[in-house]
Structure 1
């Protein structure tokens, strides 16, 4: 499950709100305001999150919160 980079975990900790769906909504809302590199990171993170179950996402989000 934890094949996320430090950058992806950081992004998760910033946009994590309202579970897996809330994270996806927050990232998608922010995409138009990101530069190309950040947009690529966000899309990669989102695609990884989409493969997780809600339970796996909750564990990952807790890990991200602990690292902040």
Structure 2
């Protein structure tokens, strides 16, 4: 994944701010848990979550720690 693909949309950043426990791996776990509880009506949230999980998996902890995830 290149740097352009690691760009987060405002919706993705908001999702990350809500579920962020303070670490990349923790956020991946929180989003994975949340995603498992989504219903068929949550298509847009499912899409955002899938995209964020993909981007988080492709980045290092160092890059994650440089993100400003403050509400």
Scaled by the length of structure 1, what TM-score is found? 0.82
RMSD: 1.4
2:12 aligned with 1:12, yes or no? no
Aligned to 1:58: 65
5+ unaligned residues in a row in structure 2: which ranges?
none
- Segments of 4+ moved more than 2 angstroms: none
Structure 1: runs of 5 or more not aligned: none
With the length of structure 2 as denominator, give the TM-score of the two structures: 0.79
